[in-house]
A = this chain, B = another copy of it.
């Protein structure tokens, strides 16, 4: 195991702080130069980097245990199955879920939301029903509902945002009604950084008999999440944004709901008995895991969770609050730069979208890249939100455990140089 406890040291001045520099050393990708500058990776909301321990676990698995899972009676198949199933338990514990059967392992957040929209939606949504989303949704938690609403002639309603990028709940009692069947909202916005008051809104939705789907793609990597108290019915996230391998995701759902749902995709490993004219399904979670899954990816995901838990999700959240505070303070001092989202770090994460009055986000990104700084520019898979913000694109810097104040300083310095470069 690469992550020794002593790797995660605490700085002398403040015991709640991470030492990002020591953590950085665990991520081989971060030690390289890009365009002659040490890489400053600030594209974490798109995907995180991987510690050596995760990379090593993938190699180890393929070199020692690899085999297809379930139904196999030989040693490798048993080892693979155990490693796969123990990740399920690991994930359950990580998100405060008591029953690992409620954890469906899949290929990502997108797969999880589509599963709910097809399986639960197909059965329960009828003409005239209402589906409530928010204006700040990622396409993954938006298009499946747009499509479902269209297919079922249901009504798509949305919770608007305030000018500082929070949900505007003033009119919530008119938005969520007895006709509401689903409320789908992101726990943390990938554009605005906003952490939404999921529990509070879920309570209103439940009062009206709706189910609540939360998109945790941006939340789980960055803050403690406990589904046993969050108050939602379904929760989805992706491993690749939280130090884990690509192609792995989680859909958590309440057993009472999952038990009654028809499978979405069908194939091997998810059945009880198959005839040409009749098929009976396996119990959850297997019913929702057809075919050969991303076995190695799932096994590597456990190493990612180990790494995060070794640091502690509370500490990670605290670290990101500090770095967000610092970044917001520094960025807001730059002339003609607009920052999106809440200004108070304690109600937001470390994804910071900004625009320059003159330089286009794509030019910002290209320029920063020439200084070794990786940020993202574009619509961040949230076109409707950007339209509401009046932007066609923003630049976004998003921070994680291995980023520190020095990275913010590098960003700010480069933005200042950029303004000079384009001279507009």
Contacts and interface: CB of A to CB of B under 8 A. Distances in A.
Interface size class of A (residues with CB under 8 A): 35 or more
A49 B63 CA distance: 9
Contacts of A373: 74
Interface in A297-332: 297
User: How many copies are assembled?
Assistant: 2
A276 B108 contact: no
Interface stretch (A8-16, A195-203, A221-229, A363-371): A363-371
Given A50-B66, A58-B58, A146-B276, A246 B294 contact: yes
Given A29-B62, A147-B279, A365-B74, A291 B47 contact: no
A386 B152 CA distance: 40
Given A55-B59, A74-B368, A47 B29 contact: no
Given A47-B68, A143-B274, A268-B140, A295 B246 contact: yes
Interface centre among A28, A54, A73, A113 (most CB of B within 10 A): A73
Contacts of A43: 67-68, 72, 74, 76-77
A276 B32 CA distance: 42
A362 interface: yes
A132 to B, nearest CB: 12
A63 B29 contact: yes
A32 B64 CA distance: 8
Contacts of A362: 73
A268 B139 CA distance: 5
Interface stretch (A161-169, A172-180, A377-385): A377-385
Contact of A381 (B140, B158, B268): B268
Interface of A: 28-29, 32, 34-35, 39, 41, 43, 46-47, 49-50, 54-55, 58-59, 62-68, 71-77, 107-111, 113-114, 138-140, 142-144, 146-147, 156, 158, 238, 240, 245-248, 265-269, 271, 273-279, 290-297, 362, 365-366, 368-369, 373-378, 381, 383-384, 387
Given A77-B376, A240-B292, A247-B296, 8 more contacts: A29-B66, A43-B74, A50-B66, A55-B62, A73-B377, A140-B267, A156-B276, A275-B383
